[in-house]
Structure 1
């Protein structure tokens, strides 16, 4: 008796393994896109050159203290986008920032433009821990 899995199940397992093997790189690429959209000043060393030199998410850690101080003067969309990004780096800090922005659930991300939505979607899809 053959107890092997059906080919479609094996194909699905292989696809998931490929996805998760590629996820850290894809996450970094989405993170870097997000940092470019939001502005280099909020990430890493705060310079455009630092943003361009970055080779890992660690090079582009969000400047959480600076963001917290500036949160009330940013536009609503910028606040929401940056707070959502911070939540991937530090769930507690990002969650508190999102709460300050009036975020109540994922549907609130519907206020973001398409470019920012794609960044958040790619971050969710490829997140494998910070």
Structure 2
């Protein structure tokens, strides 16, 4: 997976250095996939058009107030996925949301379908701080 690295880096850098050089681009791609799955209404300006015009992850910050208000009425899978995504943006807020969802550990992610698991896995793999 080459996320627009110059060829000299691809040819001369160790694999882990290439990975971390590519991580920001790979993270935003995974984040956008997660936003598309969860629904853009929970992120950024809350519109599908806003999702299309994203320049950085800051444009797709989760709407914490809206999410916290809706957490009780969402399905268990929606709650778990959204709370896991929030934890990348804000660890403390995400942890509180995960506790409200009954999350006790990584094995609880087994309730997510494959495409949601893949998003979370890619976010973990490419996370480089918010």
What secondary structure is seen at the aligned counterpart in 2 of 1:35? helix
Residue 129 of structure 2 aligns with which residue? 129
Residue 108 of structure 2 aligns with which residue? 108
What are the within-5 Å matches in structure 2 for residues 35-114 of structure 1?
35-114=35-114
Counterparts of 1:65 and 1:94 in 2: how far apart (Å)? Answer: 12
* C-alpha displacement of 1:55: 1.8
Q: Deviations over 1:25-58 (max 9, x none)?
A: 0000000000000001000000000011112110
Q: Deviations over 1:6-40 (max 9, x none)?
A: xxxxx9x7100000000000000000000000001
RMSD between aligned residues: 1.1
Runs of 4 or more above 2 Å deviation: none
Q: Give the TM-score normalised by structure 2.
A: 0.90
5+ residue gaps, structure 1 = 1-10
Q: Give the TM-score normalised by structure 1.
A: 0.90
Counterparts of 1:104 and 1:65 in 2: how far apart (Å)? Answer: 23
* C-alpha displacement of 1:101: 0.1
Greater helix proportion: 1
When Rg is computed on C-alpha atoms for both structures, the one with the higher figure is 1
What secondary structure is seen at the aligned counterpart in 1 of 2:70? helix
* C-alpha displacement of 1:79: 0.1
Matched, 1:26 2:15: no
